[in-house]
Structure 1
């Protein structure tokens, strides 16, 4: 087991909190964030997308440059998403972001908080066709993620939104 268990809850919003994250943008961001986080040798613990903001819970090494990680996630995703043909809304982030350290003792509470974002902000749900009604999408490649010794190892819980009832 690693000697460190360093967790951070990151969140940021779209420019002027405008609802810029639709289904295709959410799907793009999901892949982009995962690839970037793996490249930076960080473990994704939980992730939630809403129409105007995102929440990430990550585990990382003691020497992580959080500012650089956020720059890669925000700047890179905005640049790439805004150039996609299926992105009709554009994607711009506010300059600010929030980062809070999370104690291993409070880890489950932080996960529950992120997984509960759709209940907290029902008007900001991003509708996709990935999850079953009433169930968050959970992807756990390594069920014992909290005990992994490698920061770059996969084993995350991803929160998705309820599927569309009807397709227009």
Structure 2
């Protein structure tokens, strides 16, 4: 048996950062994503965002890689949006994402951060937020390619 505590803060945007995640179905998409995660033995600890991006705090099961998990979440949730919201047939996620490890001592602060997204983004764009998180986590990047 493996003993793990793998907490990951996942972030990604809608395609071209279009404001496609209507407030009317945000909670529904978070619940659907939670179901996808449970089927793969992960746990959704927090979900939030605004119209152009999503934040998830996930307790990962070690049997699936982060990249496979994100691929499954994006593809399945896109199909779900297309099936349940016919007016959103063009809904897409961007191909890139951010994944940041979260220590147990930081779980509550990350949950708070995620739950305060609407307030947070009154003064900050997704691009500003994402590049600040990359810097905070010591991830080197070329700004020309982060948002393509």
TM range (shorter): 0.7 to 0.9
Corresponding residue number in structure 2 for 1:75: 75
The question of whether the paired residues in 1 share the 8 Å contact of 2:34 and 2:43 is answered with no
Between stretches 82-91 and 30-39, larger displacement belongs to 82-91
Matches within 5 A, 1:1-168: 3-88=3-88, 90-122=90-122
Deviating 4+ runs (over 4 angstroms): none
Q: RMSD between aligned alpha carbons?
A: 2.3
Long gaps (5+) in structure 2: 125-148
The secondary structure found in structure 2 opposite 1:38 is helix
Q: 1:37 to 1:96 in 2, by over 3 A?
A: same
Q: What is the deviation of 1:118?
A: 1.3
TM-score (norm. length: structure 1): 0.65
Q: What is the deviation of 1:63?
A: 3.1
Q: 1:84 to 1:123 in 2, by over 3 A?
A: farther
Task: State the distance in 2 between where 1:52 and 1:63 align.
Answer: 30
Q: What is the deviation of 1:87?
A: 3.7
Q: 1:119 to 1:79 in 2, by over 3 A?
A: same
Q: 1:8 to 1:86 in 2, by over 3 A?
A: same
Task: State the distance in 2 between where 1:85 and 1:93 align.
Answer: 15
TM-score (norm. length: structure 2): 0.73
Compare the two structures and name the one with the higher helix fraction.
Answer: 2
Corresponding residue number in structure 2 for 1:150: none
Long gaps (5+) in structure 1: 125-168
Task: State the distance in 2 between where 1:88 and 1:65 align.
Answer: 29
Q: What is the deviation of 1:14?
A: 0.3
